[in-house]
Amino acid sequence: MYNIDEEGFLINPADWDTTFARETASSEGIDLTAERWQLVEQTRAFYNDYGFSPSMRPLVKYIGMNLGADKGKSIYLMKLFPPSPAKILSKLAGLHKPKNCL
């Protein structure tokens, strides 16, 4: 059992594991394809590099630097994780809700 807040975000990001991501995705109706899983991993990497949950703009830039310009676009993330990619990816990655997400 995971310790989550009222919105389903993991309280302690260090408690994250792939089972949490899969269970959370399933409860959100998200199929964690290889393409989506890659973005979850990038969101975790962002957190490991910078120590906070990314909002949309820094996440897009980070993904573009690491996965290429074709994936470093907000429209790409929106297609895979509508309506709020940074919020959904942070949840799946076991991070706190990004500060500027509703």
* pLDDT tens digits, 44-69: 999 999 999 999 999 999 999 999 99
Q: Where are the domains of the chain?
A: 35-102
CA 10 – CA 20 distance, rounded (Å): 9
Q: Could you tell me the pTM of the whole model?
A: 0.95
> 9, 90 in Cβ contact below 8 A?
yes
- Topology, domain 35-102: Arc Repressor Mutant, subunit A (1.10.10)
Residue 4: beta bridge partners? 10
> 24, 16 in Cβ contact below 8 A?
no
Catalytic hit among 4, 45, 80, 101: 101
23 as an active site residue: the answer is no
DSSP at 24: H
CA 63 – CA 22 distance, rounded (Å): 21
pLDDT tens, position by position, 73-88: 999 999 999 999 999 9
